[in-house]
């Protein structure tokens, strides 16, 4: 049976909820026990970090997040990063896994944090105005993929485990966003999009695009 893993950031929330559940049961405060019990289950579900093994083809871009595809569109060249003009947006509800993973193997050539507003993550404005991280990864074969970790209406804490210059491996954990959020992924115009609007995707497992193979 596979071992269930949890994001380390979650224990700060999970342990107090479990303790409060146990204390409520001990003193027979049944309603409080039920409330804290459901909260504990919710937090355990939210902070789970399942191990998944997706495609290892270097041209395949794995989803960096669990969630639903809410946008597939073209953006202006240079708006996010030179040469990247195609965008996929993935909305992460509070019931999705919130650990983010590297979509490709490569080196982080740009990392930029931008504090921002609290706009619902499923809206288009959130991509421009909310708290967010921009991460650009080059695969060493001429391929480049960028992603934005975007905080949502409730989330105000973006975790990023890496730094500019670090090497990452496809499917490796790079961070998480707490309590409802969104991830935007950007590609070159030569990329082939492999998902459709409203499709559910799995972090580290679903192939969302295929980037152009260079010699």
What residues act catalytically? Answer: 181
* Token pair recorded at residue 162: 């890496």
* Other beta carbons less than 10 A from residue 176's beta carbon: 28
Report in angstroms the alpha-carbon separations of 172 from 2, 52, 100, 123, 155: 18, 10, 8, 28, 22
* Measured distance CA(202)–CA(53) in Å, rounded: 11
Which H, E and C letters describe 161-192, residue by residue?
Answer: CCCCCCEECCCCEEEEECCCEEEEEEECCCCE
């Amino acid at each position: 049976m596979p071992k269930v893993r949890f994001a380390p950031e979650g224990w700060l929330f999970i342990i107090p909820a479990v303790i409060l559940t146990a204390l409520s049961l001990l003193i027979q405060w049944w309603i409080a026990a039920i409330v804290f019990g459901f909260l504990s289950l919710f937090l355990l579900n939210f902070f789970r970090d399942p191990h998944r093994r997706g495609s290892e083809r270097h041209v395949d871009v794995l989803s960096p997040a669990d969630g639903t595809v809410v946008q597939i569109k073209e953006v202006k060249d240079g708006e996010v990063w030179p040469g990247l003009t195609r965008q996929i947006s993935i909305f992460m509800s509070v019931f999705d896994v919130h650990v983010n993973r590297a979509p490709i193997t490569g080196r982080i050539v740009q990392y930029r944090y931008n504090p921002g507003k609290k706009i619902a993550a499923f809206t288009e404005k959130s991509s421009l105005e909310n708290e967010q991280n921009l991460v650009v990864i080059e695969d060493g074969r001429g391929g480049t993929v960028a992603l934005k970790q975007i905080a949502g209406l409730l989330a105000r804490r973006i975790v990023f485990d890496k730094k500019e210059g670090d090497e990452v491996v496809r499917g490796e954990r790079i961070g998480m966003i707490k309590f409802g959020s969104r991830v935007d992924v950007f590609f070159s115009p030569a990329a082939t999009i492999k998902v459709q609007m409203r499709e559910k995707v799995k972090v580290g497992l679903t192939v969302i695009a295929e980037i152009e193979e260079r010699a």
